[in-house]
Amino acid sequence: MYKEMGRRWQNFCRPVSFAAMLPPASPYSRYWLLDADVVFLNHGSFGACPLPILQRQEEHRRAMEQEPVRYLVRRLEPLLWQTKEQLASFIGTHAADLVFVPNATYALNTVLHSLSFHPGDELLTTTHVYGACLHALQVAAQRTGARLVIADVPFPVSSPDQVMEAISQAISPRTRFAVLDHITSPTGLIFPVQQMVALLQDAGVDCFVDGAHVPGHLPLDLRSIGAAYYAGNTHKWLCTPKGSAFLYVRPDRQAAIRPLVTSHRYDAPVPEPQRWSSAFFWPGTTDFSPWLCIADALNWLPTLMGNLTDLMKHNRDLCCAAAQHLQNRLQLALPAPTELLGCMTAFPLGPAERPPYAFGYIHPLQEALWEAYRIEVPVMVWGHPPQLILRISAYCYNSMAQYEYLAEALRKLLPRYVPLRRM
């Protein structure tokens, strides 16, 4: 009797499954571990690693644990170099000009701590800069006496010329360094980064391009961009395990850039052209498998649709169709012309009150979408003056039905959380 009572109590306490009530994901979702009880429309924040890549990560980890010395001392460096060569071919550069880092924020901190600025120098960025990178610039300015200048790029934006004009007006004879987003994180815009870099280089200003969202999102050719520094995350749109990214430094700027952690390879007798990147190879004993999985992702992702170009196009087309549906169903304005939109689109919803602290803050509308509809989508307070923004992402595991479900949920919730908006 008591066993039966216990069984009934366990069944009563078991969380209700939402899967039967939710729209289906795409058939590609079978390759991901994503919860069937959640409509996951936020690939942009952290990415999502598919099962075949997670299995390869486990194989890398097992190989390390089976014989740590053989793996870490004898095998690791050649494996990482081969991975860099494959990544370099994909993004249009040379392996010797790349180093692996945990994320793009870490890459920017590496560069800022290596460079010298002086009182009166100006560090330039835009209002769309990623929050963590803004903090890194603020600390660099405080440490050196430099001045932080923030170019006001409007949102919504009507053309690439508006972006260029905002940058042009912010450059001064004292501008020494610029941080530019290739794809903006909060607002999901594709900036005309090649033209921006050229404009700043003509003014004698080195650029760090934050391409956290670019690898696997857009075709990338670092040679044509020409920036002094470029960082990209691979754990987002290339779907590698969390903590995998790269920093590119143009050869004429490498002598000044040193790793944040000085370790064993600082003075290693390594021949050119590997000497600069070799100093970054060994930050200390760590899990190197996320970086090794970059090669695995570059090999596996094309199997989904025949090649990575078609996969990127599929994701962008899906996002554009979803954005168009939200625009039509909810009378939302697209934030930019389609040439500035990729696999993420952010919609301004209306004025909002700024929260006391942004990181980890969940807006009541985001919480309501989760609690009532099991939709995971970011709702942010952003800008000056602050406005409420909802950002969708699209990856091949998503389906159009999921965005239609989001539109119906928003139709019911928006009047409650954005009082000036009427459905």
Average pLDDT on 154-165 reads 97
Residue 301's closest CA among 197, 397, 412? Answer: 397
**More confident of the two residues 115 and 421:** 115
Q: What percent of the chain has a predicted confidence (pLDDT) above 70?
A: 94
Whether residues 320 and 254 fall in one domain: no
- The torsion region of residue 416 among left (phi > 0), alpha (psi -120 to 50) and beta comes to alpha
Task: For the beta carbon of residue 387, count every other beta carbon within 10 angstroms.
Answer: 16
Flag whether pLDDT at 5 surpasses 60: no
To the nearest 10°, the Cα dihedral for 151, 155, 156, 161? 10
Q: Give the whole-angstrom CA distance, residue 370 versus residue 372.
A: 6
| CA 398 – CA 317 distance, rounded (Å) | 12
Q: Which of 248, 283, 300 is the last residue of a domain?
A: 300
pLDDT value, residue 272? 81
Q: Match 């009541």 to its residue by tokens.
A: 364
The answer to whether residue 1 is domain-embedded is: no
Instruction: Please state, rounded to an integer, the average pLDDT across all residues of the chain.
Output: 93
Q: pLDDT by residue (tens digit) across 279-329?
A: 999 888 999 999 999 999 999 999 999 999 999 999 999 999 999 999 999
Do 38 and 153 belong together in one domain? no
- Please report whether residue 121 resides in a domain: yes
First to last CA, the chain: 54
**Tokens 């002086």, located at residue:** 118
Sign of CA dihedral 248, 220, 209, 195: positive
Residue 312 CA, chain-centre distance (Å), reads: 15
At CA 65, angle to CA 100 and CA 290, rounded to 5? 25
What are the DSSP calls for 282-304, one per residue?
Answer: -SSS---HHHHHHHHHHHHTHHH
Are residues 243 and 148 part of one domain? yes
- What does the pLDDT read at residue 12? 41
Query: Residue 278 is inside which H or E element, if any?
Result: helix 275-278
Q: What is the mean pLDDT of residues 161-186?
A: 98
State residue 321's pLDDT score.
Answer: 98
pLDDT band (50, 70, 90) for residue 271: confident
- Asked which of 241, 271, 300 is the last residue of a domain, the reply is 300
Does the residue 214 lie in any domain?
yes
Q: Does residue 371 sit within a domain?
A: yes
Final residue of a structural domain among 283, 300, 317: 300
Residue 187 structure tokens:
């607002």
Which pLDDT does position 8 carry in this prediction?
36
Query: Which residues are CB-neighbours of 388 under 8 A, at least 6 positions away?
Result: 348, 349, 350, 351, 352, 363, 365, 379, 380, 381, 418
Residue 50 β-bridge partners:
32
Tell me: do 91 and 176 sit in the same domain: yes
CATH number at residue 332: 3.90.1150.10
Same domain flag for 290 and 184: yes
DSSP assignment, residue 92?
A: T
Residue 267 forms part of a structural domain: yes
Measure the CA–CA gap between 18 and 137, rounded to whole angstroms. Answer: 43
On whether the pTM is more than 0.85, the answer is: yes
Does 131 lie in the same domain as 279? yes
User: For 361-390, what is each residue's pLDDT tens digit?
Assistant: 899 999 999 999 999 999 999 998 999 999
| Residue 319 lies inside a defined structural domain of this protein | yes
Residues 244 and 296 in one domain: yes
pLDDT of residue 1: 40
pLDDT number for residue 267: 77
Structural domain tally of the chain? 2
Is residue 367 situated within a structural domain? Answer: yes
Same domain for 148 and 198, yes or no, is: yes
Residue 169 has pLDDT above 60, yes or no: yes
Domain coverage including residue 286: 67-300
Q: Are 220 and 344 found together in one domain?
A: no
Above 80 in pLDDT, residue 219?
Answer: yes
Question: Considering the domain boundaries, does residue 5 fall inside one?
Answer: no
Say yes or no: 313 and 257 in one domain. no
pLDDT in tens, 385-423: 999 999 999 999 999 999 999 999 999 999 998 866 555
The confidence band for 77, taking pLDDT boundaries of 50, 70 and 90, is: very high
